[in-house]
Structure 1
């Protein structure tokens, strides 16, 4: 009986949760930073700051000893021990310094191409969030000698019957390509652009030609970043196949659309827990890859 009591006490200790909350600020301006992603490394737990730079999430108490990955566009990726933030209730991110290439404004751009053209009818499935913030990215090759500039990005979505709000928010990212690893590298889009979906539309387009983003010769990645904010939160309920019990899970909108494409030049990658990894799912006949439903319109000089 004594051992049973001890085991119960250990179980209670392990199951105890704490409220992990605070604010993230700009180190220089002291202003709160919205939509910062925070992820506990080597776990599936994470959250994002809201419009006021505030975050909160219930986590098991042992998580306070884990490393926390903090990332936001325009700031240095930072890894700290979660307990430091738990005690201070705040954290300051340092702005990332960078040098921009000289911007050349052309008089007029000639013809344009749409890479990975997608229609709503071609959507077969989708990419939903996990339990931690992550980025889904699609690689577009740069074929041909002409200079190309990012003109417009269109993102498609899957219908989500569990999400009851009129829309959800996500952030668009644009990356260069690491010449050695072929993975996403530096952010080419230095401005945080948060887009909002609408339940009556299955796509969102954004015109970026005014930013004069040149497509590097190695190609370009278009990234879609989930934001773990209350505005995007919803739950799903499934039945466990063995116990027949209901399982309720937290999820965050949107569900990004996916298509099968036989062009092997397009490649999907995901960023989570501090690193980029390949995402490879093939059709039954192995001739097509399942990739995010993102279309990129480029203008040629």
Structure 2
């Protein structure tokens, strides 16, 4: 079984009254807070924004974990290394921690941080120690197998209600064509059972420029669920099944550090002479606990026909569509000695060739989801199932939220990257004109 990435349905123009095909995203209905509620919540927190960079090169550090110490409130930096975090007033005298793989953790007093701050992290240099790497007497493959068995002991095995921010974009070549954002509640099941997680919608907004999508209709099935299923520990069957493990080769890469702890780096890829598209990438494993703390991997799309079948269920005869890139990332975070899912990112690029047309189209879909807060519950989470969304739920077009700077209220979000920020400004201008 393979990772449940988006499934795309491509249709041709069928009626004269239809000038273009529509792009339909998977997701959800909208729930809005009243203006008075937003005003009240706005008084309860302070916004801090800034940028995280490498202390030597000044290079932006993307996917940096930013956490309010002694809390579950967090966010991550975007592709420009920028962040925005909302600090509840009860934590204004607390500490903000910055963690990035391969760098020393940095703690800063919140009271001392000025807005638009630049945080510089120092590289954690680790000499490769072959004795340490082989001290567990396991080869790389055995280490991965042992890591996948650890979910019952070192991962969060409580019913947990997680607040998460989800963003989904689609670009036609380099131009933004659609933008969707949502705050969701994840009803996270314990890692030591086989029950599926559930997602509840809190708030969302979406805008699509259909003029940029006049030749293609894509139906994305999955939405936030696709990102949730990148949780390799909870859902190993989407990438490492018992049947697939013999089809992979594993080897050690030079080790690294995070928060002054040694981290094993394991490369994996499918063996030669195997036609089935499998994955390749790196696994970052905590040397002390053997917990998976980070995974970055891609689908082998060299076989166009077979890799296309994994994503495309239906298409016209006169069109060829295939993925040219499919990359995945998942990060885990530790709290009170237990690891849990913290962030994931999916990037998919497709090439669409229409027979008889000189030029092809390239579409890139990107989705990311970050856990911004969570609570442990002693009781079952999913009592009111009518409030939950399904992987097949469709997100209706709604752009009004983009005109309200306080739309998200006290909820933490991922700071938009420059291209998305530009798209939001264009949406705001459109709303003012209409």
Work out whether the TM-score is over 0.5.
no
| TM-score calculated relative to the size of structure 2 | 0.31
| TM-score calculated relative to the size of structure 1 | 0.42
Which one has the bigger helix percentage?
2
